Chains A and B, each alone.
Chain A
Amino acid sequence: MTTATGRSAGTGADEKPEHSADRTRRFGPGTPLRAAAGFALAAIVLFAVAPLVLGDFRLNLLAKYLCLAIVAVGIGLAWGRGGMLALGQGVFFGLGGYAMAMHLKLADAGPGNLPDFMQLYGQIDKLPWWWEPFANPVFALAATVLLPVFVAFLLGSLVFRRRVRGAYFAILSQALAAALAIYLIGEQGTTGGTNGLTDIQGFFGFRLDDPLNQRAVYFIIAACLLLMLALVRQLMHSRYGELLVAVRDAEERVRFLGYDPANVKLVAYMVAAGMAGLAGALFVPAVGIISPALIGVVPSIEFVIGVALGGRATLIGPVLGAIAVAWAKTTLSEQFPAAWTYLQGLLFVIFLAFLPNGLASVAGLVRRRRPAPADRKAAQPKSVPLTAETGGAGQ
């Protein structure tokens, strides 16, 4: 039975149950304890520190950044874990945002009335049929997530089965983002055109110009971010998460184990789309607008840049990266509007070239330089561990 046992790796014979694999790992990266501590810390920062330290204006900015971070969490899953360079998340962000904004515009206008911009452009005297269901709050809320998920399902089913991968997938995603933006601009009478849906007053009965309500919106967004992080963490550490990494690294090989990689990728892609949709929906009450400029090619790329910066295969990296990029954009683009675009491109190139696993991998690099005594015997991973922040998956 044990033909090759003698020749196995010299890491010492330890046949322990799954969870006590390594004493040093009990509080190491990736353990539930470490994760719980991380979530607690994040919750304290988001729910206590930030609201205390930041004024209304800055807290509102942070709310906007957190929306972008939610998109990034999804991209981290699809790209970092699934290898799908989702360069068109603006589409899903936009679908979620418009779904929410349509409902809020209808609610602002009141039953039976047309939203203000439709009256303004004056070519319509009846609400377009596809606007009507969005008057229903339940439908609209569900649509903010389900509509992007459904579109991702259609697109993913087509694309992944045809084995469109890599650059082609990225370009296709971009094209879609461009197409949606162009469509929205063209349909000014029913979509608000270039301006988008603006001047949103209320949020399910609450006035958005009230700072207190704005704070409430911030808290909702922060809670959603934590929830999405928990969801993605669960996915990463589940058997599905392991399978997803396997598909990312050797899609063909997975087929020979009897799986259809298209389905595996589809799930991650749909989850990422749902998150982008949710983020778009939350963006609307936080910022008060959704427009083609927020969902087209450029914002789609910016979503990804943040993720690349932070570390795409990690849990927290995309969040930090997205917030950092959004913050830098706000700060720098005010002072050097022209320079920002170039700086952004430069950052992207530098990070992909020198730190392909993002800022989050710096911690891993430092750790590796001084290995813990218990780790010294074990072989070091050839490349970056699956998760810099969350450690080896599947512990």
Chain B
Amino acid sequence: MSTQKPAGLRIRDLRVVFDGFAAVDGVDIDVSPGDVRFIIGPNGAGKTTLVDAVTGLVKATGSAAFDGQELLGRKVHHITRLGIGRTFQTAAVFEELTVLQNLDIAAGTNRGLLTLLRRRKSVPDSVAQAMETIGLTSARDRLAGTLAHGQKQWLEIGMLLVQDAKLLLLDEPVAGMSQDERDTTGELLGMLSEDRTVVVIEHDMDFLRRYARTVTVMHAGRILSEGSVAEVQADLKVQEVYLGHAKATSQALVQEV
């Protein structure tokens, strides 16, 4: 471990342009190690695109570094191997593989060819543990495609657990979940953040208030506001943007002020 390098996620002047349209338009963000950063913003604000850029899915200019390692310009799987894991807005699990197989693949990035060419004789400890944590031990041999929506999201989180990522980027992890499921996901999030840096994109304000340590508000590809939950909620610019875009969200925000 090199302690000299700046730790955490450090984004500078990040820009993503689609056909002349700047979806992310010069963003600076610092997420310090161990933080739980929520990124909120109206639809189309560029939140997902920001995560896409950091994880190598879309081309971007500027800089995004994690623990001092520049990420931009690297291939997706190289970025992943630097310890960066993500989930997707719509759960992306391998539907035709079982829960166990999904997790086992996620845990196996460093397997040699010989291990790969053999059968799995036993369940790796990390996989068993993750299955327990996400509550899918008894669904071990079920195809992931048959899981409920919430379970799929947890499976994805489980995949991040066994992947042993140091920076987690979660794109709307509780969208479409019931209140119970949200609570469970929140608990999972708490566990995840114990020894990892977590960035969560979320629209759910209640969820945000309960689990966010810091918040970044994006709007039209730029950072509108940043700070603690209370600071952001008190920000008039934020209220203005939200009033114009999403009534429900804005009310949720204003209630608290």
Contact = CB atoms under 8 A, between A and B. Distances in A.
B81 A4 contact: no
Interface in B149-167: 150-151, 154, 159, 163
A205 interface: no
A382 interface: yes
B118 interface: yes
Interface in A250-266: 250, 252-260
B117 A240 contact: yes
A239 B85 contact: no
A234 B119 CA distance: 8
A227 interface: no
B7 interface: no
B145 A239 contact: no
Interface string A2-20: 1111111101111101100
Interface string B129-169: 00011111111111101110011001000010001000000
Contacts of A8: 135-139, 151
B252 interface: no
Contacts of A256: 55, 76-77, 80, 85-86
Contacts of A22: 141
**Size range of the interface on A?**
35 or more
B119 A394 contact: yes
Contact of B135 (A4, A245, A252): A4
A392 to B, nearest CB: 7
Nearest to A5: B135
A39 to B, nearest CB: 17
Interface stretch (B65-73, B92-100, B209-217, B223-231): B92-100
B94 to A, nearest CB: 5
B118 A382 contact: no
A242 B122 contact: no
Of A5, A9, A243, A245, most buried by chain B (CB within 10 Å of CB) is A9
Interface in A234-251: 234-235, 237-240, 242-243, 245-246, 249-250
Interface residues of B, number: 61
A234 B80 CA distance: 29
B97 A245 contact: yes
B154 A249 contact: no
A3 B133 contact: yes
Contact of A1 (B101, B109, B121, B132): B132
Of B92, B120, B159, B163, most buried by chain A (CB within 10 Å of CB) is B120
A14 B138 CA distance: 6
Nearest to B92: A253
Interface in A213-248: 234-235, 237-240, 242-243, 245-246
Interface in A37-94: none
Nearest to A7: B135
Given A3-B184, A243-B105, A246-B94, A18 B121 contact: yes
Given A18-B122, A235-B117, A379-B146, A5 B132 contact: yes
Nearest to B116: A240
A123 interface: no
B142 A9 contact: yes
Given A9-B151, A238-B118, A249 B94 contact: yes
Interface of A: 1-9, 11-15, 17-18, 21-22, 234-235, 237-240, 242-243, 245-246, 249-250, 252-260, 378-383, 385-386, 392-394
Given A9-B142, A13-B138, A245-B96, 12 more contacts: A2-B135, A4-B184, A9-B138, A18-B122, A239-B118, A259-B77, A259-B109, A379-B146, A383-B96, A383-B145, A385-B143, A393-B101
18 contacts: A8-B135, A8-B138, A9-B136, A13-B137, A14-B138, A22-B141, A238-B118, A245-B96, A253-B94, A255-B77, A256-B76, A256-B80, A257-B77, A257-B106, A379-B146, A382-B95, A383-B145, A392-B143
The 9 closest A-B pairs by CB, nearest first: A4-B135, A9-B139, A258-B109, A258-B80, A255-B76, A379-B146, A3-B187, A5-B135, A240-B116
